Structures are given as C-alpha cells and as structure tokens.
Amino acid sequence: MSTLTMTDLTKLLRACAGDAEHADLDGDVLDETFADLGYDSLALLELSGQIKQRYGVALPDDAARVTATPRQFLALVNSLS
C-alpha cells in the first residue's frame, strides 16, 4: 500500500470515532497524545479495525497502548505495510 498520511488518518478517525473533542484534527496534532485529543482505547481499537479492513495491515493487539500519538501510530502502520 501507499504510505498512510496524517490526512488519511484524520479521515479514518472522524469516520470511526467522531471528531476530536479537545483539538482541531486539521491543526498540528501529530504529536498530541490520543488521550489529549479525546480518543480512548476503544476509539483506537476501532481505528485498528478500519486499518485492517481498508489497508490490509494487521496491527498488534497492543497497538493502542504502544502508540500514544498520531505520529507514532502512522510510523507503526507504515512499518508493517
């Protein structure tokens, strides 16, 4: 697959977990933590499911725990694709 970008991630997050509660996803949020953005572990689990469905990338079960920020999440997905 092509590299997953922040734009892709933003779209996915909005579709599967709704808009961020505490920040504008279109702003500079690459290094904000998901927790600070208002996304809990279930939101990230849902996101992982979408990544698997759309890109065929299977994230490890603990992906939500080991990737605290969008930058880390993107790096993990792109390292596995």
Interface residues with another protein (CB under 8 A) are: 14-21, 38, 42-43, 45-46, 49, 52-53
Task: Give the separation between CA 55 and CA 20, rounded to whole angstroms.
Answer: 23
Output 38 or 72, the one with its CB closest to another protein.
38
Cα 24 from Cα 40, distance rounded (Å):
17
d(CA 19, CA 53): 21
Task: Decide whether 20 or 76 has the Cβ nearer to another protein.
Answer: 20
Taking the complex as a whole, how short is the minimal distance between the CB of residue 38 and another protein, in angstroms? 6
Least distance in Å: CB of 39 to another protein? 8
Tokens describing residue 46: 């849902």
